[in-house]
Amino acid sequence: MNTIMRKSVLSVAGLAFAGGVFAGPIAAHANPAVDAKPAAVAVQADKPDTAKLIPHGTQGDQSHITLNDEQIGNAKAIIAATKKAGLPERAAVISIATSLQESKLENLGHLGDMNDHDSLGLFQQRPSSGWGTPEQITDPAYSTTAFLKGLKQVDGWQDMPLTQAAQTVQVSAYPDAYAQWEQQAA
């Protein structure tokens, strides 16, 4: 994986990598006179277990887009809302993949004639379907929390393939389309 892609993936997941840095108790006991040679200590952020993030493996061909700062910020907002809700990382993967399919992680307002009914926001939720007001739906934290509330109401969502869990909440005309984003979301 190239460096730019790795940094992009890690930043979306809210992870970081630092090399050549003293960390924790080592720094408190470092003696520059004794430790004349530079020491490199890699500090690795807790990497989520891929088996937990993609328990069923990816289904079908996978898509990938390069994310801009707004999209990365929206992915981070989804992760933060998932953590705040006390849900496992798998819920964030389902949420991010759903948003990638619905809006490419862009917080979409009303698109005029290009709009699918009155769909808005990261998840293309509809005020007329009870998801909230237009202002609420276009707030990333609110829209994610609303999506997660719907996900929690799906019996066994934790054990479902991503596309089945997402489709049960979203009720899309293209139910299998969510699966193509699972790898990037993870």
Query: Using CA atoms, how far apart are residues 161 and 172, in angstroms rounded to an integer?
Result: 16
Q: Using alpha carbons, list the distances in angstroms from residue 42 to 16, 125, 180.
A: 11, 42, 33
What are 155's two structure tokens?
């019996």
Angle at 93 between CA 152 and CA 177, to 5 degrees: 95
Query: Using CA atoms, how far apart are residues 163 and 176, in angstroms rounded to an integer?
Result: 6
On whether the CB atoms of residues 178 and 168 are closer than 8 A, the answer is no
pLDDT score for 111:
54
DSSP letter for each residue of 154-185 = STTGGGS-HHHHHHHHH--SSTTGGGGGHHHH
What are 109's two structure tokens?
């307002």
What are 90's two structure tokens?
């798998």
Q: Using alpha carbons, list the distances in angstroms from residue 175 to 95, 101, 106, 180.
A: 15, 10, 20, 11
Query: Using CA atoms, how far apart are residues 44 and 78, in angstroms rounded to an integer?
Result: 23
pLDDT in tens, the chain (186 residues): 443 443 444 444 443 333 333 333 333 334 444 444 444 444 445 566 776 787 677 778 888 999 999 999 999 999 999 999 999 999 999 999 999 999 999 998 755 555 556 788 999 998 888 899 999 999 999 999 999 999 999 999 999 999 999 999 998 888 889 999 999 999
